[in-house]
Structure 1
């Protein structure tokens, strides 16, 4: 459905006001297309001021980050933090450290986070941040000094009731620890709820490292159940080999599926007998090496340089690397190999052209703002534990995560059916998230 004249004019203005930010434009266009039927049914929600406010960040912070490497050389990077919507609660979203990070990248991620966070039902707004700093090949000392320099500016803009960052690409438990240490030193407060994804001994939550990958698999499991399938005996392909991919692999194996391929920036690892989670963890998390090292440890594995995993036959797929990594040709290949279902472990990893292929082939498609909401949901649970100064068991936290993911699946499914798009999880996620946020915005008034 093309955008009507009012919505099309709004989108044109957004593109004009935010030049050279194609990922942000893409994210906005998807939401506007999904909610247009709702706006036609309920004109009060289509008030241009509400939509303009929804698509305009409440604040955008850009700052210089100066740090020194181990040789004493000075480096200058750019830091970002975008608070997009606080209608439902404090800004909540991760920090990404990667050379590709720009303001447009952060805005697209923060915009997606609005609707993702709304789906969790936890009362958290949408935000995101990061830097064009590349941690690859850097020593622990260099990463610590960068994190301290980054937090020296960021601390002015965050707090348990204002903005609560977490990790993302390039920002794991080590980086969160350095960031929180600097925040604690500067503010002279142990505000555990100011950041999430922390180590357990400084207020972190059980199951937080596993949450995004586990949650994506729970959502995938629910999609399959809706079609009369289970994960038992299914062959899976996962892109990426970082935190999300690794724990998705673990949970897929636990539920009876076999993951035969994963990838990193250098190529694709394939093992027809199933990739071993323990060895993958050793290679990527302990040794911090590229995937080609895995084949030195497992004789049945093969590594294909510069290859993506999408031409490998599989029943289910979880793109879990980065945005727009899976294009139309990849989708055609997956469809020809009789893919049953796909859940986005990353944020917007499938292009619009790829999604169209999946929809036309009637492949169950779980969009990132629903399928990978497990990470931010468990961050919300960490905030609850920090506020109460308590700790939950791994089992309790995982059970709560599973319940939230199944609830998100149900919400998407029912909302899509109620709006004439049965089985369309994109419509379900966007419309459900939009209705929640729009209601809060109207309640709060013109702010």
Structure 2
């Protein structure tokens, strides 16, 4: 429930952002956590501080014209929401997907503020992307689109201003094309202006693995609070993209058995354990569909109907997209004995699902904490670029593990301090909010 002091703020956000469902959902979730903070620290309600956090500093929407392989001119829409720079330059990925609109980008940017604050690193929150769909497009078409996109966006970027990275639909290929165009337009090798770059031109080792690895580190730490671990546990991971693949990889290192994964077409179940090398071949090399997995693994089964969350498991790792795990899915997981859920994607569980997990005593790691490993390692990439340095994989992963453990411990301690031990949603929202709020107070009304 929303505290009565915060209800007028939510009402105003609802009025001013009508129809932006995901953004409004994200704001409401944070405001629901802040009643206890305002009661203890009423000064945070002064000078419209909360209202300012809920309003982006800048929203950029632009046309992206490009030419396809048939010499036809295509038009897409580009976005960049620079949400909050109190802690440092805006930092957040670019998403290329048909579902992208200003509401989706604002939701992602708002979540990014608190996620970035939780890392303890000096980065603000932003997000961007386009409704362009790279699926089925040639390399030439993707290059021309990326060059057109960056031709507009570059004027709003800089290593001390705004530093994008990849997200859904934006991998190392797209980041390379985007960075190449930025370099061409500015005549500067400003490596720290983008993260997720290839190793040969300023990328960081372990960046590709970081979001998935980080989610596994967070959940492993969460399980340890009840004397548990991944070892010997059955795990379901949704998705089969970058986050899902490296979540599976790290869970296997921790001794867990991942028995199912999915894509937008359906899901596969392999009781012997998902063959990660085969998934990588299908998804990263062939850019194919997960249905091909069952064709090559006779004991596996593929389903294009139903939900991956009906597969009985001990631990669930939703790692695909927002609101993919519903209340109905949560009930199925709880009935099948799930003990922990860790969000690898951004807000993949609906509010009803989160409520049901809490009521059932299921450990729940929210995305703004559990999947912060990606942006944390992006900030480490910026650090390496600024110092003209390159760390080993082991150095970077050691830093990643330490950051994820610190995020877990800070969320847990904050939840206990505010009277909700074990509530990682409240802990993440409050810990992130306080760090941003203190910086905003120090900077004055801007």
TM-score when scaled to structure 1? 0.99
Q: Shift of the alpha carbon at 1:48?
A: 5.5
Instruction: Show structure 2 runs of 5+ residues with no match.
Output: none
Query: In 2, distance between residues paired with 1:19 and 1:427?
Result: 26
Residue 435 of structure 2: aligned partner: 436
Residue 253 of structure 2: aligned partner: 254
Q: Shift of the alpha carbon at 1:295?
A: 1.5
Residue 348 of structure 2: aligned partner: 349
Contact persistence 2:2–2:35 (CA under 8 A)? no
Query: In 1, distance between residues paired with 2:299 and 2:366?
Result: 33
Query: In 1, distance between residues paired with 2:130 and 2:35?
Result: 34
Contact persistence 2:2–2:31 (CA under 8 A)? no
3-state SS in 1 of match to 2:313 = coil
Query: In 2, distance between residues paired with 1:414 and 1:175?
Result: 39
Residue 382 of structure 2: aligned partner: 383
Query: In 1, distance between residues paired with 2:215 and 2:95?
Result: 20
Residue 296 of structure 1: aligned partner: 295
Residue 424 of structure 2: aligned partner: 425
Extract structure 1 runs of 4+ deviating beyond 3 A. none
Deviation track 1:257-312 (CA, whole Å, cap 9, x = no partner) reads 00000010000111000001111000001000000111222122111013321010
Deviation track 1:374-420 (CA, whole Å, cap 9, x = no partner) reads 00000000000000000000001001000000000000000000000
Q: Tell me whether 31-40 or 209-218 shows the greater mean CA deviation.
A: 31-40
1:182 matched to 2:181? The reply is yes
3-state SS in 1 of match to 2:384 = helix
Contact persistence 1:215–1:371 (CA under 8 A)? yes
3-state SS in 2 of match to 1:47 = helix
Q: What RMSD, in angstroms, separates the aligned Cα atoms of the two structures?
A: 0.7
Query: In 2, distance between residues paired with 1:100 and 1:402?
Result: 33
Residue 2 of structure 1: aligned partner: 2
Residue 305 of structure 1: aligned partner: 304
Query: In 1, distance between residues paired with 2:401 and 2:343?
Result: 17
Contact persistence 1:118–1:436 (CA under 8 A)? yes
Q: Shift of the alpha carbon at 1:248?
A: 0.3
Contact persistence 2:47–2:445 (CA under 8 A)? no
Contact persistence 2:211–2:374 (CA under 8 A)? yes
Aligned length: 446
1:153 matched to 2:137? The reply is no
Residue 268 of structure 1: aligned partner: 267
Residue 218 of structure 1: aligned partner: 217
TM-score when scaled to structure 2? 0.99
Contact persistence 2:268–2:303 (CA under 8 A)? yes
Contact persistence 1:263–1:308 (CA under 8 A)? no
Q: Tell me whether 299-308 or 110-119 shows the greater mean CA deviation.
A: 299-308
Q: Shift of the alpha carbon at 1:129?
A: 0.1
1:360 matched to 2:359? The reply is yes
Contact persistence 1:90–1:124 (CA under 8 A)? yes
Query: In 2, distance between residues paired with 1:307 and 1:127?
Result: 35
Query: In 2, distance between residues paired with 1:428 and 1:288?
Result: 38
Residue 229 of structure 1: aligned partner: 228
Residue 241 of structure 1: aligned partner: 240
1:327 matched to 2:359? The reply is no
Query: In 2, distance between residues paired with 1:340 and 1:327?
Result: 17
Query: In 2, distance between residues paired with 1:177 and 1:308?
Result: 35
Deviation track 1:122-163 (CA, whole Å, cap 9, x = no partner) reads 110000000000011001110000000000000000110000
